[in-house]
Structure 1
Amino acid sequence: MAVPLNEAVGQLVHDGDTVALEGFTHLIPVAAGHEIIRQGLRDLTLVRMTPDIVYDQLIGAGCARKLVFSWGGNPGVGSLHRFRDAVTRSWPVPLEIEEHSHAGMANRYVAGASGLPFAVLRGYSGTDLVGNNPHIKTITCPFTGQELAAVPALNPDVTIIHAQRADTAGNVQLWGITGIQKEAAMAADRVLVTVEEVVEELEPVPGQVVLPARVVDAVSVVPGGAAPSYAHGYYERDNSAYKDWDAVGRDREAFGAWLAELTGSTGPDTSSTSDPEPVGKGA
Structure 2
Amino acid sequence: MSDKTMPLTELPRHIESGMTLGIGGWGSRRKPMAAVRELLRSDVTDLTVVTLGGPDVGLLCAAGKVRKLVYGFVSLDSIPLDPHFRAARESGSIDTSEYDEGMFVTALRAGANRLSFLPTRAGLESDVMAMNPELKTVTSPYTDEDYVAVPGVRMDVALIHLNRSDAAGNGQYLGPDPYFDDLFAMASDTTFLSTEKVVPTPELGAGGPPQSLLLSRMFVDGVIEAPHGAHFTGCEPDYGRDEAFQQHYATAAKDPESWQRFTRTFLTGDEASYLAAVADFHSSHKEQAS
Normalization by structure 1: what TM-score? 0.87
Cα distance in 1 for partners of 2:106, 2:134 equals: 13
CA contact (8 A) 2:168 2:223 kept: no
Structure 1 gaps, min length 5:
266-283
The correspondence for 2:24, drawn from 13, 22, 26, is: 22
The residue number in structure 1 matching 2:221 is: 217
Normalization by structure 2: what TM-score? 0.85
1:76-124 CA distance string (max 9 Å, x none)? 123322222223335xxx2111100100110111111112110110111
Cα distance in 1 for partners of 2:13, 2:213 equals: 26
One-letter amino acid of the structure 1 residue matched with residue 56 of structure 2: V
Cα distance in 2 for partners of 1:250, 1:6 equals: 30
Cα distance in 1 for partners of 2:122, 2:257 equals: 41
CA contact (8 A) 2:170 2:213 kept: no
Give identity over the alignment, percent: 30
The residue number in structure 2 matching 1:233 is: 237
User: Are 2:6 and 1:3 aligned?
Assistant: yes
The residue number in structure 1 matching 2:171 is: 172
The residue number in structure 2 matching 1:188 is: 188
Deviation of 1:203 (Å): 2.0
Cα distance change of structure 1 residues 256 and 110 upon mapping to structure 2, 3 Å threshold? same
The correspondence for 2:258, drawn from 227, 250, 254, is: 254
CA contact (8 A) 2:169 2:193 kept: no
Greater helix proportion: 2
Moved over 4 A (4+): none
Cα distance change of structure 1 residues 11 and 130 upon mapping to structure 2, 3 Å threshold? same
Cα distance in 2 for partners of 1:252, 1:89 equals: 15
CA contact (8 A) 1:166 1:197 kept: yes
Q: Number of matched residues?
A: 260
One-letter amino acid of the structure 2 residue matched with residue 223 of structure 1: P
User: Are 2:97 and 1:76 aligned?
Assistant: no
Cα distance change of structure 1 residues 210 and 79 upon mapping to structure 2, 3 Å threshold? closer
Give the 3-state SS of the residue equivalent to 1:98 in structure 2: strand
Cα distance in 2 for partners of 1:15, 1:130 equals: 30
Give the 3-state SS of the residue equivalent to 1:189 in structure 2: strand
One-letter amino acid of the structure 1 residue matched with residue 223 of structure 2: V
Give the 3-state SS of the residue equivalent to 2:205 in structure 1: coil
Give the 3-state SS of the residue equivalent to 1:71 in structure 2: strand
- Within 5 Å, give how 1:88-167 maps onto structure 2: 88-89=90-91, 94-167=93-166
Deviation of 1:253 (Å): 2.2
Flag the structure with more relative contact order, 1 or 2, with Cα contacts below 8 A and sequence separation at least 6: 1
1:22-68 CA distance string (max 9 Å, x none)? 1024321111111111113110011112x112211110011111111
The residue number in structure 2 matching 1:268 is: none
Cα-Cα RMSD: 1.7
Cα distance in 2 for partners of 1:170, 1:29 equals: 15
CA contact (8 A) 1:12 1:190 kept: no
Deviation of 1:264 (Å): 4.8
Cα distance in 1 for partners of 2:164, 2:31 equals: 14
